[in-house]
Amino acid sequence: MRGYFVGAGLAIAVATMATSAMTTQALAQSEIKIGEINSYSLLPAFTEPYRKGWQLAVEEINAAGGINGKKLVVVSKDDGGKPADAQTAANELVSSENVAMLTGTFLSNIGLAVSDFANQKKVFFLAAEPLTDAITWSKGNRYTFRLRPSNYMQAAMLVEEAAKLPAKRWATIAPNYEYGQSAVAVFKKLMSEKRPDIQWVDEQWPPQGKIDAGPVVQAVAAANPEAILNVTFGADLVKLVREGNTRGVFKGRTVVSFLTGEPEYLDPLKDETPEGWIVTGYPWYSIKTPEHDAFLKAYQAKYNDYPRLGSIVGYQTIKAAAAILAKAGSSDPEKLIAAAEGISMPSPFGEITFRKIDHQSTLGAFTGKTALKDGKGIMVDTAYRKGSDYLPSDAEIEKLRPKD
């Protein structure tokens, strides 16, 4: 009898294991996983709104029936602002979580690291935020696509206004890593093409996240420029503005500034916000289109808070990933690439397309000027610039981008 019960127990255990395996397999077949990587612990001012944005997108996608009837699941990892950790996270997402694609990243050097991983392992990667031109051009590859308008695109938007200024003597301030270097290089190139009379009289390269603003501002003042290009953001920007205001460096000088009009960077300046800077950003409070109104209403209903630009980027990254997966009808990387090249879709800023030639999306950006209102920084004189209007010709891109 004892042998009977042992045998019966073993049979039940085996049957339970088999049922569990079948349930797991059925669950896997009824959902699609996307891997997401970002610098949550290092840059919460941008990445927390970004996370809220993609969580809202997941909720909306699943409420509408998922992706071809399958539930969308996002598996998220923190890279801590370290390229090696981002590659480790990417490897875990692909090998352990069996994700259909990778998305995310913020810093340009980390975006490039994950892009390299995607190319080596033949995994589809949708870069959300990294702005370096290298990610779609000099170091571009067939597996990597990018959502946000690049340094070239934003520089071209800013140069359109900056070239009208009478200023001839320019200084630059930018963080000393891939993003800052790329932004300064392309701004100088485009500006000098439009205005050959310009002199570049000083460059300051503080370390990202560790600016010693006093000496930086003092060095710029000593060069006596008529205008300044600023590429710092976050806590570095706050320190730079405070020192610049204290020492009067911005007085009587025009400042052109990447990203400063984004609420995550403008809001912390409060009543110290310098007025009249020419910036790119996100004036969520003054955008009046049906697409943005719908996004704003849904975001405020869910979070009882206003969106930042990170919210838009996170939201549209997952919306784009879902659209690509739905069109491909498969998680095969080659089919995802075929689906993504040339795909168009709605966004809170209007319709966008992922170009076949360089895998860059045509999502645009807002330009305007900084101003103070009720003790808070805002953007005024704003205009939306379509990304497709600020890209070089196909012939130029073919020279910039390696053949797949």
What residue ranges of the chain have pLDDT lower than 50? 1-6, 11, 13-27
- As a CATH number, domain 31-150+288-364 is 3.40.50.2300
The residue to which tokens 């995550």 are assigned: 264
Biggest CA-to-CA distance, the chain: 100
| pLDDT value at residue 7 | 52
| pLDDT value at residue 133 | 96
**Which parts of 30-107 fold into alpha helices (H)?**
44-63, 83-95
Nearest one of 271, 111, 227, 98 to 177, comparing CA atoms: 111
| pLDDT value at residue 9 | 52
In words, the CATH class of domain 152-286+366-390 is alpha beta
| pLDDT value at residue 25 | 46
Residue 292, CA atoms < 13 Å, CB-side half-sphere:
16
CB-based contact 259:281 (threshold 8 Å): yes
Residue 38 backbone phi and psi in degrees, to 5: -160, 170
DSSP secondary structure string for all residues of 185-232 = HHHHHHHHHH-TT-EEEEEE-PPTT---HHHHHHHHHHH--SEEEE--
CB-based contact 257:234 (threshold 8 Å): no
| pLDDT value at residue 29 | 74
SS3 at position 129: coil
Model confidence pLDDT, tens digit, residues 204-252: 999 999 999 999 999 999 999 999 999 999 999 999 999 999 999 999 9
| pLDDT value at residue 318 | 98
Model confidence pLDDT, tens digit, residues 11-27: 454 444 444 444 444 44
| pLDDT value at residue 4 | 43
* In the chain, ranges of CATH 3.40.50.2300 domains: 31-150+288-364, 152-286+366-390
CB-based contact 40:48 (threshold 8 Å): yes
| pLDDT value at residue 24 | 42
Nearest one of 40, 48, 36 to 310, comparing CA atoms: 48
CB-based contact 184:177 (threshold 8 Å): no
The sign of the torsion formed by the CA atoms of 104, 110, 116, 117 equals: negative
CB-based contact 123:147 (threshold 8 Å): no
Question: For residue 308, how far is the Cα from the chain centroid?
Answer: 12
